[in-house]
Amino acid sequence: MENNDNPQEADAHSPSRMEALMKNCKLQKNKEEVKQRLVQSGTDFILVFWKVLSALEENIQSNADVSVATLMAYMAEVLHCIFFLGHIHEMPINPKTFFQNDRLFQIFKRQFPEPFEHYSTHLPKRTPFSILLDMVSKVKGHTDHRTILSQVEEVKKKLTEKSKDNQFVNNYSLTASVICMSYFCTPEKGFNYGASLSCSGKVETKIMIALSCIKTWNDAVAHAVCHAKKGGFIKFPDGVTCQAYIYDLKSGYNIEKAPCKKCHGMFRNVNFLPPPSEWPKGQDWQYGNCAETESLSHLLNTEQNVRNAIKAFKTHEVIINREEIVQEAKKNVTQLLNSRKFRIQLDDFKFFAVQN
């Protein structure tokens, strides 16, 4: 039998082999750093969310739409989504890792058993920051957008404290960098809020976009996102206004932001404030990633008149085929999830929901 030990050993010391080893080592270190950032941001997000929820609890007596059970369901949804993102991460993260100590872990597990049971079998419908935005606007109401903006600023300040000088770290902190609000005709009718997708990596973002197309977004928005690459878009009737704000890490405030080229192309005849002037290079995020998507989806769900008047296009005007969109998205997401050790069959999509 041929002995391969010696040649291999010699090869290990050759310059190209050493280079490959060092490259591999660096790659591994980067992966570990990304994992640590997700662990840290998940840990922080759970605690900050719990604090916001506890503060909101005092406001809910006067709001008939929200009960303590509703707030607890939001918390369970956040936990499930963070555990899910940990589970599908390239280097899987156990739910326990997201708690600073065993006592805290046990408390949350006792109070919210469902996320601990379903994170590896059920799918999330939205990212943690979208859940937060929904909870805050539900309690505070939809007309006072200044209150929502300042509440969001406060949360972002808490979540980004440790990463003030490092935008890269911020990218992994589950904090949506942009939020958007849209309305039909007049803001007095209420704003529809949306957050940019905040998860932890390209594959995760693709998964969340596909899941949103399947389950979360309005038919027309799902059509625009799904067909955008091949020139598809939707055209709104007159009267839709859309304002986006980006969180400025240095000042700690939200500042107005024009839409990106992709949103401008997908969502036609929308009055974007501020209007797009020119598009800087490097807008390489995926269709559906922006806060405009979620905000306009909410607007369509709320405003029947807009929903009825919307027109959908591929290369020419078409009738929206949700079934086709869902099947395509399911195919994509099944592949992506299976590559991340989340076993799922095409005909067996279970989404996480808390039984009240």
- Tell me how far CA of residue 286 lies from CA of 28, 91, 282, 301, in angstroms: 26, 23, 12, 23
CB of 283 to Zn ion, least distance (A): 8
Binding of residue 310 to Zn ion (CB under 5 A): no
Question: Angle, to 10 degrees, between the axis of helix 5-12 and the axis of helix 15-57?
Answer: 70
CB of 258 to Zn ion, least distance (A): 9
CB of 260 to Zn ion, least distance (A): 3
Stretch that binds Zn ion, among 83-91, 170-178, 183-191, 284-292 (CB under 5 A): 284-292
Binding of residue 260 to Zn ion (CB under 5 A): yes
Residues of 280-297 as b/e, b for ≥16 C-beta within 10 angstroms? eeeeeebbbbbbbbbbbb
Q: Which is nearer to Zn ion, 208 or 326 (CB)?
A: 208
Binding of residue 246 to Zn ion (CB under 5 A): no
In this structure, how many other beta carbons lie within 10 angstroms of the beta carbon of residue 252? 13
Stretch that binds Zn ion, among 6-14, 106-114, 263-271, 331-339 (CB under 5 A): 263-271
DSSP sequence for 138-200: HHH-SS-HHHHHHHHHHHHHHHHGGGTT-HHHHTTTT--SEEEEEEES-GGG--EEEE----S
- Is the peptide bond prior to 113 cis by the omega test (within 30 degrees of 0)? no
Burial class (CB in 10 A: 0-12, 13-18, 19+), 146: exposed
| Torsion, Cα of 255, 194, 84, 151 (10° steps) | 50
By CB under 5 A, how many residues form the interface with Zn ion? 3
Q: Which is nearer to Zn ion, 138 or 264 (CB)?
A: 264
Give the residue, chosen from 263, 266, 306, 336, that forms a contact with Zn ion under the rule CB under 5 A.
263
Give the residue, chosen from 52, 73, 178, 290, that forms a contact with Zn ion under the rule CB under 5 A.
290
Stretch that binds Zn ion, among 113-121, 288-296, 298-306, 311-319 (CB under 5 A): 288-296
Stretch that binds Zn ion, among 103-111, 162-170, 171-179, 258-266 (CB under 5 A): 258-266
> What are the backbone dihedrals phi and psi of residue 321, each rounded to the nearest 5 degrees, phi first?
-115, 90
Tokens of 338: 């299976």
Binding of residue 46 to Zn ion (CB under 5 A): no
Binding of residue 299 to Zn ion (CB under 5 A): no
CB of 244 to Zn ion, least distance (A): 8
Q: Which is nearer to Zn ion, 249 or 260 (CB)?
A: 260
CB of 192 to Zn ion, least distance (A): 16
Residue indicated by tokens 């490959």:
20
CB of 288 to Zn ion, least distance (A): 9
Which residues contribute to the site for Zn ion (CB under 5 A)?
Answer: 260, 263, 290
